[in-house]
Structure 1
Amino acid sequence: FERVDIDPTRTHLPRGDAADPHVASNAYETLIEEAGGIDLQLLGIGQNGHIGFNEPTASIGSRTRIKTLTASTRQANQRYFASFEETPRYAITMGVATILESRKCLLLATGEAKADAVARMIEGPLSAACPASALQLHARATVILDQAAATGLKFSEYYETVHPQGRDRVFD
């Protein structure tokens, strides 16, 4: 958060190092409620379609909780740790339902490695196999992609018609 102009008292992350992660998960969910909800939810997408640490098969109705991480997610995050063995096997994550309750969502994806997950998120069926596909239900979700991350999209021509160069189009 130090790289953006935002009041740090208005930013929150779950306490992954909490003595009791179940209590911390519930406290985080309560904090969101007491704050009046989430104004802007910033997201990335994992190569397997996860958002937050909601791995494939995560319930679309889930709330903040502990999730077991897949080997691929651990490998993607291993760069933050001395070794793969030291990379956490579990994480506290905001649930899919909690994410969907945010007033606005912004998802950013870059690189060809994300292309399949991006295509499943945007054009695939709503499915727990791709938790990011739940964003299809969000009324104010914005997805920003580079060209490489968009290579798996079948309807790119239509998206460019609707949002030329990424802009909103006003009725002609």
Structure 2
Amino acid sequence: MHVILCDSAAEVAVAAADLVTRRVRRGPAVLGLATGGTPQPTYRELIRRHREKRLSFARATAFTLDEYVGLIPTDPRSYRATILRDFAAHVDLPLERLHTPQGGAPDPAAEAQRYEELIAAAGGVDLQILGIGTNGHIGFNEPGSSLSSRTTVRALTRQTRTDNSRFFGRDPVPRLCITQGLGTISRAQEVVLLAVGRGKARAVRDMVEGPVSARCPASVLQFHPRTTVLLEQEAASQLEYLDDYREAARLLHERD
């Protein structure tokens, strides 16, 4: 796990966009796209590079992490609508190669299996963008999730529903979701996790420096050989080994 400390949320976004840009320019890429507030500045930076620097996603394929059970793709609160609004509709990613779980599917368990097989048929994810929940979840893998799980139907905790209630106004947040499992996420060739704000500091600490445990689902990334964690100062504020991470980043930068 490579921890990079950034001075601001804007710096996190640029660093993440640099990693995505590098992978996309190498050739056809399968991207894993997270939704939510944290990756939005990264998507805005990638859109800017598409418009101003001719960064092309024409040869990319993309898979989102998850979707609420019961929301059809045209529902503005669905993650299909969200990723279109935040990113895909503003670049040249072919929309037939933008894949999301179908939250309105009559059999969510069968849909989860279909989605897992679709990812495998694409050759797996090359670069996965992640955020982290205040309880340590990635995707919608809540505490207690199996560290080897595949795409499945999960119940959302009260904390997650509270955190996401701002997107639903007076309507209740759905209680079920379809999400890529921790095992599915762990099979990505490269993972880039972004965390911003003091509210994520405890989860970041548990992910980076705590034991690998289902109590903090994101801690499974300690086993991943190519995970980059991009943190601004408040999100990093509870880490014990900050000086070590800064020194390691400096030495690696000098080597490059």
1:19 Cα deviation (Å)? Answer: 1.6
Which residue in the other structure is 1:139 paired with?
225
What pairs with 1:58-137 in structure 2 (closer than 5 Å)? 58-83=145-170, 86-137=172-223
Secondary structure (helix, strand or coil) at the match of 1:142 reads: strand
Which of 3, 9, 22 is residue 109 of structure 2 equivalent to? 22
Q: Post-superposition shift, 1:41?
A: 1.1
**Paired residues, what number?**
169
* Correspondence for 1:161: 247
Quote the Cα distance in structure 1 between the aligned partners of 2:114 and 2:191. Answer: 22
- Take 1:77 and 1:64, find their aligned partners in 2: how far apart are those partners? 21
Q: 1:10 to 1:156 in 2, by over 3 A?
A: farther
CA distance in 1, matches of 2:234, 2:94: 34
Question: Residue 2 of structure 1 aligns to which amino acid in structure 2?
Answer: A
Output the CA distance in 1 between the equivalents of 2:236 and 2:178. 29
1:42 to 129, 139, 156: 129
Output the amino acid matched with 1:118: V
Q: Percent identity?
A: 47
Spell out, residue by residue over 1:72-131, the C-alpha distance to the aligned partner (whole angstroms, 9 max, x if none).
Answer: 100111112132x52011111100000000011111110000000001000100001000
Residue 153 of structure 2 aligns with an amino acid whose one-letter code is I
Deviation at 1:9, TM superposition (A): 3.7
Q: Match for 2:168: what amino acid?
A: F
> Which structure features the higher share of helix residues?
2
Instruction: Tell me how far 1:5 sits from its aligned partner.
Output: 5.2
Contact 1:59–1:96 at 8 Å: present in 2 too? yes
Two-structure CA RMSD over aligned residues (Å): 1.8
* Aligned CA distance change for structure 1 residues 63 and 81 (closer, same or farther; 3 Å): same
TM-score normalised according to structure 1 size = 0.92
User: Where in structure 1 do 4 or more consecutive aligned residues deviate above 6 Å?
Assistant: none
Q: Can you list the C-alpha shifts for 1:44-94, whole angstroms capped at 9, x where unaligned?
A: 1000000000000100010000111111100111112132x5201111110
Answering whether residue 140 of structure 2 is matched by residue 56 of structure 1, we say no
Partners of 1:91 and 1:20 in 2: CA distance: 12
Kept in 2: contact 1:48–1:55 (CA 8 A): yes
TM-score normalised per structure 2? 0.63
